[in-house]
A = this chain, B = another copy of it.
Amino acid sequence: MGIKGAVEKKLVGLADIVIRAAERGKDPSISIPVRALSNVKFNESKGIIEMGKNRQARTFFNVGMAKKFMQTMLVGDALAELQRADLTTSLREIYYRAKHTISDSHENTFDAQNESDPLIEDLEVALEALREELHVRAENAGTVIGPLVVEDDGDRVDCSRLGKGGYSVPSIVEPEYIQIKKCAADFVLLVEKGTQWNRLAEDKFWKKYNCVLLTGNGQPPRGVRRLARRLHEEKRLPVYVLVDNDPWGYYIYSVVKQGSINLAFESQRMAIPKAKFIGLSSEDPQTCGLPRNVGIKLNEKDISRAKELLNYRWFQKKEWQKEIKRMLSSGLKYELDALANKDFQYLTKKYLPKKLKDQDWLD
C-alpha cells in the first residue's frame, strides 16, 4: 500500500470512529495533538522545533465542540474524496466543497475559510500526514535551475536545460508526484529574493559552482522547502541560505533550518538542521566596502524583532548572538540588492565566490 492508500485509510478511520461509537451508543471522540505554543519545544539534539505530546479529545456530545466535530468530519470527507479521485486542491476549494446549508435550517456548515483551514491542520497532526500527503496544495511559487533531473508526471525534466527561466516548483513535491532522478550538484543555494536568483541564473552561477539554484520569491513556500530538504536528504547536499541582513532574513533562515513555531509538526519533514547562513551578515557591508548610505535605518519593528530572535533557543550560539547584536549596534540593515552599488555582478563574481571559498557561513 502506497502513501495514498495509507492516507485514505487514515481518513476513513475517522468515519469508523463515528460508526463504532454510534453502534455502541457512545460519544464519538477523536484525539488531536494540541497545536499551541504551549505544546512546542526545541529539540536541541535534533536541532528542530517539535510538537510536544499534549493531546485533546474532540467529542460530539458537547455543546462547545459539536459543530467543530461535525466540521472536522466534513473536511475529512472532502480530503478522502481527494484521495479516492487522486486529485489535489487548494485550502480555499476545500472550504467551498465542504460548505452547504444544513437541511431544514439556515445554518451553513462553514461561514468562512478560517473555519476550515485550522481543521485541515488538526487532521494533519492527528493523522500524522503532511498537508501535501492530504493532497492540499497552494499555487506554484518557486523556481529551480541547475544540474538536477526530476521526473514529473512521466516527463523527465532536466533543470540544466531550461535556459534562464527554469522549472516552476510545484506546491507538492512529494515522491508520489516528483521523483529526483539525478542530481550532480555539490550544494543547494536557496535564495530569498527572486531578482537575485535571476542574477545568479543569468550569470550561469550554477554551472560554474555546480549547484542547484532555488528561490521561493521571498519566504520560501512549502514546496521549495520540501525540495531543498529532499535534495539535502536524498542527495546529501549541503544547503546554503542567501538572505538579506535584517531580522526577516535571519527568520527565513531559521525557518528553513529549524522549522517554525506555528507549524512545528512539519519540522520533522521540512526542516534542514544543517542548513548554513551564507549571509548577508552584519559584518559583510564593511568587508565588502559598502557605503553606509546604502544601509537602511532599523525601525522599531526591526529592533523588537531582532531582540526576540536573540532570546530564541536556536539563536543562542555565540556567533549568532554576535551577529544579531552587531546589526543592532550598527543601527542599520542591508539588503543583498545593495551589493549592486559596487557592481551589478558583485554578488556572483565576488561576494559568493569568496564566501564559498572561505566557507564563511553561520551555522
Contact = CB atoms under 8 A, between A and B. Distances in A.
- Copies assembled: 2
Q: Is the interface of A mostly helix, strand, loop or mixed?
A: mixed
A4 to B, nearest CB: 15
A169 interface: yes
Interface in A146-178: 150-157, 161-171, 177-178
A164 B152 contact: yes
Interface in A246-303: 291, 293-294
Given A100-B291, A337-B93, A194 B155 contact: no
Nearest to A137: B198
A155 B201 CA distance: 13
Interface stretch (A19-27, A67-75, A84-92, A232-240): A84-92
Contacts of A155: 161-163
A163 B171 contact: no
Interface in A308-363: 335, 337-341, 344-345
A140 B165 contact: yes
A126 to B, nearest CB: 23
A335 B92 contact: yes
Interface of A: 81-82, 85, 87-90, 92-94, 96-97, 99-101, 108, 137-141, 143, 150-157, 161-171, 177-178, 193-195, 197-199, 202, 215, 217, 291, 293-294, 335, 337-341, 344-345
10 contacts: A90-B198, A101-B293, A137-B198, A138-B195, A140-B194, A152-B165, A156-B161, A157-B161, A157-B163, A163-B178
